[in-house]
A and B are shown apart, each in its own frame.
Chain A
């Protein structure tokens, strides 16, 4: 579904991603783990089209999207939830969700159905419909950015540290929601630092360190064979 090969991403002279490759099969939940600064967010931003790759290729469902613009990538069926939790703060919750459906804006009936589905997943957002997104709590904002990404009806969803800085009870809910999404057949790439919870939901995982992938395998393999703390603390 999503195939990354030899990906290189630089910030000027800083080489943040140094030739990584990984893939996601349809319906798979794959996790990208690694310490701060490993290059996980850079990888996601590059796939999303927000950063230019200096080398390598990104293929989505057979289409080469390596140098696609962000708007082309989402049209191709890949939605991204950045770690910065970018709600549009002065827009209401429903305006944020409406923009999520921007590429389907002519299909009003479809959007209404999809909104209902998203509201079922996050009842909280239905209650807060008319409220400015900037006034939501951190957990609610996280739900909003995920819900907004779902409004584009993606076939692949990239999530960058959805549990970052949230209370344990909310993190629990977010992970439950990720499992629910997985059951709908959505292909998900989950970037996390929350290793145990992530491996409990993921099919496979890759571990990144200093811009490279240093280990990969099924969730069980990673859990049993990799000395995680070495990769984490050494990150």
Chain B
């Protein structure tokens, strides 16, 4: 019993984090048909903001809010620096600028901060554990689950009930038509980058909360996770990305529980093997998004 509860909590907390990462990536992809390779650096920005404000004496929650604000600001900045100038040009140009921007941010962190891990302040509660039905589990995991439920619900509300959200969904299926109805392209794109940055900021704090330190390359794993989750879930669908995140977490956690010690270091190889099988079976991803037109 305790074991089962432990497993479910592990899957849900890892899955919640993965789902948020994937959602932040697919929101941009849905609208621009482009993967933002500088997405992981938004998590890095959130982490270093926490590190840099750690001596300020602010309450932790204020630092966290500030870190999220910085991730949002950098999200919007990514659009202006890497996407907007070349958006009308080729896909290749944008892919390269988004790689370059990612590298630039990482190298800035290397140069101006340090290649070595830096401590990020964490509240007491992140290192506490509780016992639920016999399973000892970090409170951090429960916070992650709660945060992902709240955020997924908030994003669902935004996308379904608000004019901005509905306009973003419309723009994701047919950008030109949305513009012909007066939906401003730049507003939609900036909103998507802001939302992406917001999700990256929150998930960044939760993610970094697992290790307590930030390094310049911290964003690579979240980017990879988000990318794989969206690919298996279906690049065009928001719910697909969330589903893909939880599925990937289920696979990872199951392998963690079942692989023997000496096989565990090859866990990612098993995960990717399964991902390849899923894609052979369903090349479009598991959840089809709406049929959609050209990239914009």
Contacts and interface: CB of A to CB of B under 8 A. Distances in A.
A204 interface: no
B181 interface: yes
Contacts of A69: 179, 185
B179 A71 contact: yes
Interface of B: 163, 166-167, 169-170, 173-174, 176-185, 289-291
A71 B188 CA distance: 12
B180 A74 contact: yes
Contact of B182 (A90, A91, A103): A103
Contacts of A148: 181
Given A74-B180, A90-B169, A99-B181, A105 B163 contact: yes
**Which has the most chain A C-beta neighbours within 10 Å: B180, B182, B185, B289?**
B180
B180 A50 contact: yes
Contacts of B180: 48-50, 70-71, 73-74, 79-80, 82
Contacts of B174: 86, 88
Contacts of B181: 74, 99-100, 102-103, 148, 152
A71 B184 contact: yes
B182 A98 contact: no
B294 to A, nearest CB: 11
A181 B192 CA distance: 37
Given A75-B182, A89-B173, A98 B163 contact: yes
A144 B240 CA distance: 28
11 contacts: A75-B182, A88-B170, A88-B173, A91-B166, A99-B170, A99-B181, A102-B167, A102-B181, A102-B182, A102-B183, A103-B182
B173 A90 contact: yes
A99 B179 contact: no
A95 interface: yes
B260 to A, nearest CB: 45
Contacts of A27: none
Nearest to A74: B182
Nearest to A106: B163
Contacts of A56: none
A134 interface: yes
A99 B184 contact: no
Interface of A: 48-50, 69-71, 73-75, 79-80, 82, 86, 88-91, 95, 98-100, 102-103, 105, 134, 148, 152
A88 B163 contact: no
A71 B183 CA distance: 6
Given A90-B290, A99-B181, A70 B173 contact: no
Contacts of A99: 163, 166-167, 170, 178, 181, 183
Contacts of A49: 179-180
B183 A88 contact: no
A99 B183 CA distance: 8
A142 to B, nearest CB: 14
A42 to B, nearest CB: 14
A169 B179 CA distance: 32
Nearest to B291: A89
Nearest to B292: A89
Contact of B166 (A79, A82, A98, A152): A98
B160 to A, nearest CB: 9
Contacts of B176: 50, 70
A72 to B, nearest CB: 9
- A-B complex: 7 closest residue pairs judged by Cβ atoms: A103-B182, A70-B179, A90-B290, A86-B177, A74-B182, A70-B180, A88-B170
Contacts of B182: 71, 74-75, 102-103, 152
A170 to B, nearest CB: 22
Nearest to A69: B179
